[in-house]
Amino acid sequence: MNSSKLITFGCVALLSLVLIKLYFVQTWFKSNGKFVSRISSRGNRTVVLTPRSNISTAVVTTPFTVRPTIYPQMPLVTQPTLSPNCSATTRTATVCIVCFIISPPNNFVLRQTIRDTEGSISYLNGFNIKYVFVLAKSTDENINKRILEESEKQKDILFIDYVDTYRKIVMKSLTILQWSSENLPSHYFVSKSDDDVRISKTTLTNHLTKLLNTSNVASPERPTLGKGVENFPILCGHTLVKNGYPTRDQNSRYYLSTDEYKPNTLPSYCNGAMYVTSVATSKLLYASVKQEEIMPMEDVWASGILRMKLGKEDTNIVKLEPGFAFHFPDLSTPQAQAKIIEHLKKEITILKNFNVSYCC
């Protein structure tokens, strides 16, 4: 090979090396000062993002598990223990309801009264029923210690590592969405209520049965999920509020600043005393949560704003008559206990016509 051909060959080889180097530079170095590896098609593989100034420390990790959600996570102190069939009875039912009851930290007596009375109904009208109390921390560490003891004994407390205040009740609703989405099957049902709300479970289960479309069920005591559970609406137990307005009065407990909520009208929503839906719907609501959009009025936020994000207007919220949630706020503990017992006595006269089981 003569010298001219050697020179030509050398130039071609050099040019090829330059092009190859440019290709890898463009492939590995990208904007924003990051070092990014191409993802191999042979299994899960990624690279830790590293500043250019520290390229030599980039580490390939394989396999890599991406967290499936990026929604806000509430830290938990204790969690409830639910039996596999959602109830402590031997009954076989096709539908389970987990009733989440929001309760102030120091309401020990009222929670126990609920357990001993209406909370003892574990099977009704074809539904297994379980109860979970949702609590946030007190500023009094003695109360927090007692809550831990209560939780250890009862196994029915979802205890949030968050100081309890009225304007942070929304964090309890967020926790209900979070915990039910991560721990309950999609075909379960969940309700949110307060511990000063009495619930007619006969009416509640009748309404759920109606919405679940049980026309093909041989026995009225065996409601089935049908096809409606995936798109189950939010069912209001107390009041469906339409055409509402945010309260701009700073002296009101329902005050919403324009920073917290800018529009001058509210979406349709369930009064926070009580609402219920399927876990499948709860998962959709939780998936739409954005940290910066959380607002103090939990009922407007959960059953209104999050619900509207699902893009179905008002087709996924409903109030059936008669209502099944009765709110008795601002009662002393003895008055509240008396109201619970009074309500249960009325319910028992109706329960005689149903197949009912009591736990504990």
3-state helix/strand/coil string of 105-170:
CCCHHHHHHHHHCHHHEEEECCEEEEEEEEEEECCCHHHHHHHHHHHHHHCCEEEEEEECCHHHHH
The answer as to whether 117 is a domain residue is yes
Regarding whether 317 and 227 lie in a shared domain, the answer is yes
Regarding whether 211 and 177 lie in a shared domain, the answer is yes
Regarding whether 81 and 49 lie in a shared domain, the answer is no
Structure confidence at residue 196 as a pLDDT band (50, 70, 90): very high
Regarding whether 93 and 50 lie in a shared domain, the answer is no
Mean pLDDT of 89-97: 63
CATH number, domain containing residue 265: 3.90.550
**Spatial separation of the C-alpha atoms in residues 281 and 274, rounded to whole Å:** 16
Domain ranges, residue 30: 25-62
Q: What pLDDT, on a 0 to 100 scale, did the predictor assign at position 191?
A: 97
Regarding whether 128 and 44 lie in a shared domain, the answer is no
The answer as to whether 19 is a domain residue is no
The answer as to whether 6 is a domain residue is no
Instruction: Measure CA 278 to chain center.
Output: 11
* % residues pLDDT > 90 (the chain): 58
User: 155 or 213, which is more confident?
Assistant: 155
The answer as to whether 8 is a domain residue is no
Q: Is the pLDDT of residue 231 over 60?
A: yes
Regarding whether 36 and 179 lie in a shared domain, the answer is no
Bridge partners of residue 76, in order along the sequence: 160
Q: What share of the chain is helix, strand, coil (3-state, %, to 5)?
A: 35, 20, 45
The answer as to whether 147 is a domain residue is yes
The answer as to whether 347 is a domain residue is yes
Regarding whether 48 and 99 lie in a shared domain, the answer is no
Regarding whether 49 and 147 lie in a shared domain, the answer is no
The answer as to whether 217 is a domain residue is yes
Q: Count up the domains in the chain and report the number.
A: 2
Regarding whether 265 and 177 lie in a shared domain, the answer is yes
The answer as to whether 161 is a domain residue is yes
Question: In terms of DSSP bridges, do strands 60-61 and 46-47 run parallel, antiparallel, or are they unpaired?
Answer: antiparallel
Regarding whether 44 and 124 lie in a shared domain, the answer is no
* % residues pLDDT > 70 (the chain): 72
Q: What pLDDT, on a 0 to 100 scale, did the predictor assign at position 8?
A: 53
Q: Is the pLDDT of residue 316 over 80?
A: yes
Other residues' Cβ atoms within 10 Å of the Cβ of residue 261 = 19
Regarding whether 82 and 52 lie in a shared domain, the answer is no
**Spatial separation of the C-alpha atoms in residues 278 and 188, rounded to whole Å:** 6
Q: Is the pLDDT of residue 89 over 90?
A: no
Regarding whether 113 and 40 lie in a shared domain, the answer is no
